[in-house]
Structure 1
């Protein structure tokens, strides 16, 4: 969503560009729209003041056993984007997927409520025909109950669709900040693809004779499949899901920077591919406000104005509950969410500079 808005913002702010309104209408029409937030939506339908967006990444990979889609649609990435009332900056805050929370009852899917990891809210809301909108709605309600934050808009981003976006860009430039071993992609002695690890309850177990894909530290150009594989990894990282959150935030910023660069904007063919791929990668709940109004409201935000925050300071705050390793949000994390809710993020960042994640580019 940030990529679509970012590219269109650059286009419509170029005074010399003829027909910007026609281009705007063409590409915004390609964005899927759906009511996702339900009762978690901000009751005051406006984007004139502070804005909070909920972004949920789902990984609809094909089950290799029978080629059937993964019907659980787990929420692998959960991010809150806060835009202050000045509309000149954006803050990305990841919600740890293992956060132990209370999930409210949800009659739409027949879910009776309970306590679990926060990413369980999506499949809990998905059932009984409620679908992705139901999953998103229950997840949004759960996060609202946890943080007190209401949302002006939200989006579901399909990782497979995002891969198509990166392919349209011709790959993405990133600086890998730590050695990262893939548990998903490897090859055997004959160079044939094979899963390098068996995933067990005790963690990944190496498959004999299979060499995993490894991403070494340093700035480099990643192909679409490499970029998506890199930001999926968490099992073998020292800081687990916090490392993955950091890499995904860096990835979003890198893609936004590349998509708004001259190599895309000055090439009509590539621009068309990028915008169409981006539009197809997401489903957007605009809160009933036109996408054109969203674009013009956020016209002053660029990739350099994105600040990425590390929930729990990027370190584990684990507790075993009902035999599962879960994450407990620290008091400072709750202060972070309070700063989002009260639009006081600059003060929080000034008080906690070590909670700001570094860039990848």
Structure 2
């Protein structure tokens, strides 16, 4: 999403700067990687958000956000598929972990966090869904917070009053401007919300759209100092795996993707207590969603399953 926003304000200059700033690593496990990526065809990316801005070592934290981004051929729309953090899955062995059943967000921790943790998480998702990814990005929330601040904040619409469990903030209903700290605090809340973690997933999807909209609205091109700061903040907050595709080719493929073409998708599932532990369990294997992603039929699936498509 950030790459798409960068395309709005000057392709070649931005990609040149970004190439020098971004950290590149092999984030995808071989079992989760597509053999060859065609930027002009349908694309599937894995986005993993971590709360590294909190105290503690990387291996002790779990991935707070897991998104599958599906872009149909043509790059004119995108589907943000939020994977429930408590989804019960079988995690394969890796990086010293022997394998077994657990919540999907623990795969990152079992893998050791960082690059190896993302690799194990991608292998877990590939085993569950059969999806092979064209790339991945590991997002550091502290850096993402700085990006939002440099953009002048984002406009978020709060639908239900909620008190943060991390700070003393109370978010009141209504559309409002939020700085980076406020926005990230808001989208991490799930307790006391009617839909619990499903509401949290929707709020995270809305934040991605808000950032994309703000990027296109902000006059970065006429402010080279601010532009450079934003690019450095973006590069500092992301570790990427492009599956060997040059960054400029990806930006070109996504240049026609506007913010209002984003669609939020929730994985068909339901909460369930198992041995006194709260999990999320798939409905009928995901109700055909993963097959639709693999078969590039997501638009048709979304029209047939409006319950699981969220407005952004």
- Pairing 1:28–2:19 present: yes
Structure having the higher Rg: 1
In structure 2, the CA distance between the partners of 1:120 and 1:21, relative to structure 1 (3 Å rule), is: same
Cα contact 1:122–1:139 (8 A) shared by 2: yes
**Alignment partner, residue 101 of structure 1:** 89
**Alignment partner, residue 133 of structure 2:** 151
Cα contact 1:62–1:70 (8 A) shared by 2: no
Cα contact 2:61–2:109 (8 A) shared by 1: yes
In structure 2, the CA distance between the partners of 1:329 and 1:265, relative to structure 1 (3 Å rule), is: farther
Paired residue secondary structure (2:41): coil
Paired residue secondary structure (2:282): coil
Cα contact 1:310–1:357 (8 A) shared by 2: yes
**Alignment partner, residue 133 of structure 1:** 115
**Alignment partner, residue 281 of structure 1:** 237
TM-score by length of 1: 0.82
In structure 2, the CA distance between the partners of 1:62 and 1:174, relative to structure 1 (3 Å rule), is: closer
Paired residue secondary structure (1:185): coil
- Pairing 1:119–2:105 present: yes
Distance 1:342 1:298 in 2: 20
Structure 1 residues 65-214: aligned runs within 5 Å: 68-106=56-94, 109-126=95-112, 131-186=113-168, 213-214=169-170
Where in structure 1 are there 5+ consecutive unaligned residues? 13-19, 187-212
**Alignment partner, residue 10 of structure 1:** 8
Paired residue secondary structure (1:264): coil
Paired residue secondary structure (2:97): coil
**Alignment partner, residue 196 of structure 2:** 240
Paired residue secondary structure (2:44): strand
Shift of 1:259: 1.0
**Alignment partner, residue 341 of structure 1:** 294
Shift of 1:257: 0.5
TM-score by length of 2: 0.94
Distance 1:28 1:174 in 2: 30
Where in structure 2 are there 5+ consecutive unaligned residues? none
- Pairing 1:291–2:217 present: no
- Note the aligned Cα RMSD (angstroms): 1.7
Cα contact 1:259–1:274 (8 A) shared by 2: no
Distance 1:45 1:253 in 2: 25
Q: How many residues align?
A: 311
